[in-house]
Amino acid sequence: MMVVLLGATTLVLVAVAPWVLSAAAGGKNLKSPQKVEVDIIDDNFILRWNRSDESVGNVTFSFDYQKTGMDNWIKLSGCQNITSTKCNFSSLKLNVYEEIKLRIRAEKENTSSWYEVDSFTPFRKAQIGPPEVHLEAEDKAIVIHISPGTKDSVMWALDGLSFTYSLVIWKNSSGVEERIENIYSRHKIYKLSPETTYCLKVKAALLTSWKIGVYSPVHCIKTTVENELPPPENIEVSVQNQNYVLKWDYTYANMTFQVQWLHLYFRRPR
């Protein structure tokens, strides 16, 4: 401490250590969180970030958001006073085609400055999640039923009928991916071996938006015993008053049958 006397006025200059000023301000100065990532899969919105200083305990984090054309910031529901470095804001009702901006700060006795995340449009940033897959086994085929991973999805509400699917299938015994096919939401894979376990995975795509999804979990199923029943014979179609009747002969009695049909057309030559 140094004292200087100037007439009747006394000026006192005190040298103070930096840590004392910091303590007087309410504790250690907080740094802003860094490396904030926004992950959107289907209708799930997840935020992840890094702590700037892991040595600071009891720190919480809070987010604000701002829509295009807004001047004020709004507290992001579900992402206030978070103690971890992850939060889910899927419950927030957003226009997925509208640009949004986020900011985050750390909080303890005092607060850090805001760290702003680059603005983004949810639909453009979103990824397609794994589809749901259901399998039915036959002797030499597998029937596949596929549906989008998020039913009644807000993100894909305008694209529900535009999904395409691709499939990879292999024999479980080999583990080598041997067939890749583009398929429909209901598809049958033929030319398989009876009593053999096959595994497959499926992913969806929206080609109009240049979006390729992630693969589903691997599903495995064993084909059934080979069907050795003979096919029906003497098949004929008769027309009776605009009613079409299909008839056939079969060797065994008390059997059930499945009938399939396809659209065909006839073109007359000019």
Q: For domain 34-125, give the CATH superfamily.
A: Immunoglobulins (2.60.40.10)
Predicted model pTM: 0.67
Query: Does the structure show a pLDDT above 70 at 269?
Result: no
Q: Which residues in the chain are classed under CATH 2.60.40.10?
A: 34-125, 132-222
Q: Which long-range contacts (CB under 8 A, 24 or more apart) does 257-265 make?
A: 257/232
pLDDT digits (tens, 9 = 90+) for 197-226: 999 999 999 888 889 999 999 999 999 998
Which helix or strand (DSSP H or E) is residue 149 part of? none
Each residue of 110-169: pLDDT tens digit? 889 999 999 999 999 999 999 999 999 999 999 999 987 766 788 988 887 788 999 999
132-222 fold: Immunoglobulin-like (2.60.40)
User: pLDDT tens across 75-100, in order?
Assistant: 999 899 999 899 999 989 889 999 99
**Amino acid (one-letter) located at 14:** V
